[in-house]
């Protein structure tokens, strides 16, 4: 009888205890996009950059220009390199800019903001700019501006290169 009472007491104690916590799920590290190698300040180097854009301050989603305007838009996932065809028969980043680039980033142009006292930038010769490619090597940053519905790349049919602007890292 004593054994039965002890067993009943153990069962009551066991019922009153909270359930054992479930083992914690292992933390899954979210893969973040690599930071852009283009973030920083640049000095206009080419004649077109000096006359149309001025100096450049590049952040993750904004390109701010010394002439009073900015291009807003995020990166587009594309495997572009300096020798990638930009459209059917349209040349490459290297051939367009005249420099051999080691890093390339494609961004969609979602908005162009112009300061109240700034002239309207004519980035694409009157056409609406839709994409910008940033390419760089150790000494030079090139911006190549495109119009058209397709993102620049080997399969693009509706894309036109309409402006090339070169910069050097600010001292």
Please give the distance of CA 159 from its chain centroid, rounded to a whole number.
19
Question: Is 22 a member of any domain?
Answer: no
Question: Is 120 a member of any domain?
Answer: yes
As for how many domains the chain has, the answer is: 1
- Tokens at 125, concatenated: 């010769």
Element (H, E) at 162: strand 160-169
Question: Is 52 a member of any domain?
Answer: yes
Question: Is 17 a member of any domain?
Answer: no
| Domain span at 96 | 36-169
Q: What is the pLDDT of residue 71?
A: 95
Question: Is 41 a member of any domain?
Answer: yes
Q: What is the pLDDT of residue 20?
A: 55
| Predicted confidence (pLDDT) per residue in 34-73, tens digit | 667 899 999 999 999 999 999 999 999 999 999 999 999 9
Give the angle subtended at the CA of 156 by the CAs of 153 and 160, to the nearest 5°: 90
Question: Is 5 a member of any domain?
Answer: no
Question: Is 11 a member of any domain?
Answer: no
Contact between 167 and 92 under an 8 Å Cβ cutoff? The reply is no
Give the angle subtended at the CA of 40 by the CAs of 37 and 41, to the nearest 5°: 140
pTM of the model: 0.76
Question: Is 119 a member of any domain?
Answer: yes
């Amino acid at each position: 009888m004593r054994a039965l009472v002890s067993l009943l007491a153990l069962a009551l104690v066991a019922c009153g205890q909270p359930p054992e916590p479930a083992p914690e799920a292992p933390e899954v590290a979210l893969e973040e996009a690599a930071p852009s190698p283009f973030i920083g300040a640049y000095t206009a180097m080419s004649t077109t950059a000096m006359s149309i854009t001025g100096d450049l301050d590049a952040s993750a989603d904004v390109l701010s220009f010394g002439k009073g305007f900015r291009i807003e838009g995020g990166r587009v996932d594309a495997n572009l390199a300096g020798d990638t065809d930009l459209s059917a028969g349209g040349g490459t980043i290297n051939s367009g800019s005249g420099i051999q680039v080691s890093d390339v980033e494609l961004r969609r142009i979602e908005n162009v903001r112009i300061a109240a006292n700034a002239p309207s930038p004519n980035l694409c010769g009157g056409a609406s700019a839709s994409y910008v490619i940033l390419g760089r090597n150790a000494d030079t940053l090139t911006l190549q501006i495109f119009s058209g519905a397709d993102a620049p790349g080997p399969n693009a049919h509706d894309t036109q290169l309409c402006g090339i602007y070169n910069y050097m890292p600010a001292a």
